[in-house]
Structure 1
Amino acid sequence: MDAAARARVGDTGTMRVAGAHVLLTGATGDIGRHLASRLAQAGARVTLVARSRAPLDALAAQVGGHALPTDLTDRAALRGVVPAAESALGPVDVLVNNAGTETAGHLADLDADGLEELVALNLLAPAELCRQALPGMTARGRGHLVNISSLAGVGTVPGLAAYGATKAGLTHLTSGLRADLRGGPVGTLAVEIGPVASVMMGRIGSHPPAAAAFERLLQARALTMLDPDDVARAVVAAVESGRPTLRMPRRTAPLAAVTHAPRSLVRLALTGIHPSRARTAEHAP
């Protein structure tokens, strides 16, 4: 392992952000901007992905990152993201799938194109980018996959049925990746967060049933409105510490743990089964 690699990989396989090449999607959103700043401050080389070029270029100039304007719902464009990032800044050490959108409203009131775009951005794009990044990470013996999910994937509210379904899928995808990568050099992090002070939350609040549901949960202190910079700081710390799951606010952790209990039980039941052996058995004649 060369000196640059040793600077990125900790003694226990945890990922050091300093010197690492981090590919961040959804970079110009409320959480994305803070993630870009926190990662750059921690010494990472960042490739920033978002749809709109002007704000992306401005953010890249601010944090010293590389701008890669991309519409992640465009299949052809999506398939070239990791190769383009690696062509510019070298191998991707950390992939942060932060891009996402919401469609607040009754499912029957959504249009077909909007529903398809929601699934494409929130679930298909992260899965595809993980697929692109994994072979190189595995070959180099280092890497980290970070998927920014939501507590809406644990328990959703009126108006967020489709959004919650995509986030539940993203969390489950990350759990499956953790099983696939068990015992190997590539780590995973599932980030499940509650409402964040953001433009997206403002849009969700425009749907009265969703607004009423969040108001009740916030008044009951079952949830708190998160600061996007607090989320960004916690994500960077979780990557460096090697945590497999980050849940915010912390008071929601017991409820989320109940939802995750079947996944934990399955991991326990499969203790001792090495993923590479499972693949060999699967393809045996």
Structure 2
Amino acid sequence: MADRDQVQALWDAAAGAFGRIDHWINNAGVSTARRPLTELPPGQLETVVAANLLGVLHGSAVAVRGMAAQSGGGTVWNMAGLGSDGRTVPGLIAYGATKRGTDYLTTGLAEESKDGPVKVAHLSPGMVLTDLLVQDYSPEELAKAKKVFNILADRVETVTPWLAAKVLAGTRNGGTVAWLTTPKIMRRFLAAPFRKRDLFGDAA
């Protein structure tokens, strides 16, 4: 994703196979180890910025240009994540900084594209139970984190079909499709004492 030529090759292959591309989702992402910035090796920082920000810049540029050249345009979706809303979490500030940058990029590109056939929008899956979410915790830290995850997180197979349907339904230029909204967060915390969830066991 950090190589413009490879991103362009992906577009060309997909457009060649399907005839057109109506939706392009910039979803590739990685994180650093859960450590203070001063303890992270430069290579980890460069990898995160390359994948999470430079990759989205390249992907967005290729997709907007390609969609503008096809009849009916299309929609470019950029994936939100921890830090998109400005919230900070110690130990993950490099990841959060790239997501904050992606939010700015998406809003700015929507403004640049407002008079054309291409829409640019935010796609927010919320807290999804993946390796990226649970990596690099000590056993004690993970035990504490699981209490929050079991309230706010969801499994991939729960969130993905909903997001796919919303993507296909579309949104306005500059809009946001979000699974975990503020009202949903509030309802889940209020219901937590009465609704036990175990995302790490057999039952959700």
TM-score bracket for this pair, using the shorter chain length: 0.7 to 0.9
1:238 partner amino acid: K
Whole-angstrom distance in 1 between the partners of 2:98 and 2:139: 19
Question: Is residue 5 of structure 2 the alignment partner of residue 93 of structure 1?
Answer: no
What letter is aligned with 1:132? V
Q: CA deviation at 1:230?
A: 2.8
Aligned to 1:60: none
Inter-CA distance 173–112: structure 2 relative to 1 (3 Å threshold): same
Q: Does 1:250 align with 2:178?
A: no
Per-residue displacement from partner, 1:103-125 (whole Å, max 9, x unpaired)? 12211121111111111111111
The answer on 1:134 being equivalent to 2:64 is yes
Alpha-carbon separation, structure 1, partners of 2:138 and 2:80: 21
Q: CA deviation at 1:242?
A: 2.4
How much does 1:75 deviate? 5.3
Q: What number of residue pairs does the alignment pair up?
A: 180
Report whether the alignment pairs 1:173 with 2:173. Answer: no
Distance 1:252 1:212, change over 3 A: farther
Q: What residue is the counterpart of 2:119 in the other structure?
A: 187
How far the C-alpha of 1:183 sits from its partner, in A, is 4.4
User: Could you tell me the TM-score, scaled by structure 1's length?
Assistant: 0.55
Q: RMSD between aligned alpha carbons?
A: 2.8
Taking a change above 3 Å as real, the CA distance of residues 182 and 73 of structure 1, as seen in their structure-2 partners, is closer
Name 1:237's counterpart in structure 2.
165
Displaced runs of 4+ in structure 1, greater than 4 A?
206-209, 211-219, 252-255
Q: Which consecutive residues of structure 2, in runs of 5 or more, have no partner in the other structure?
A: 187-204
- Does the aligned pair in 2 maintain the 1:226–1:249 contact within 8 Å? no
C-alpha distance in structure 1 between counterparts of 2:131 and 2:149, whole Å: 18
Counterpart amino acid of residue 148 in structure 1 = M
Distance 1:78 1:111, change over 3 A: farther
Change over 3 Å in CA distance of 1:227–1:166 after alignment to 2: same
CA shift in 2, pair 1:242/1:76, >3 Å: closer
Contact in 2 for aligned 1:187/1:242 (Cα 8 Å) = no
- Amino acid of the residue matched to residue 152 of structure 1? G
| Conservation of the 8 A alpha-carbon contact between 1:150 and 1:167 | yes
**Taking structure 1 as reference, are residues 240 and 194 closer, same or farther at Cα in structure 2, changes over 3 Å only?**
closer
Among candidates 77, 89, 109, match of residue 39 of structure 2: 109
Distance, in Å, in 2 between the alignment partners of 1:131 and 1:213 is 41
State the Cα distance separating 1:204 from its structure 2 match.
4.5
Aligned to 1:144: 75
Kindly tell me: are residues 249 and 189 of structure 1, through their superposed partners in 2, closer, same or farther at Cα, counting changes over 3 Å? same
Gaps of 5+ in 1: 1-71, 256-285
**Contact 1:82/1:132 (8 A) holds in 2:** yes
Q: Distance in 2 between matches of 1:77 and 1:208?
A: 41
> Is contact 1:141–1:185 with CA below 8 Å preserved after alignment?
yes
Query: Which secondary structure does the structure 2 equivalent of 1:200 belong to?
Result: helix
In structure 1, how many angstroms separate the alpha carbons of the residues matched to 2:45 and 2:165?
34
TM-score (norm 2): 0.74
Contact 1:195 1:225 in 2 (8 A): yes
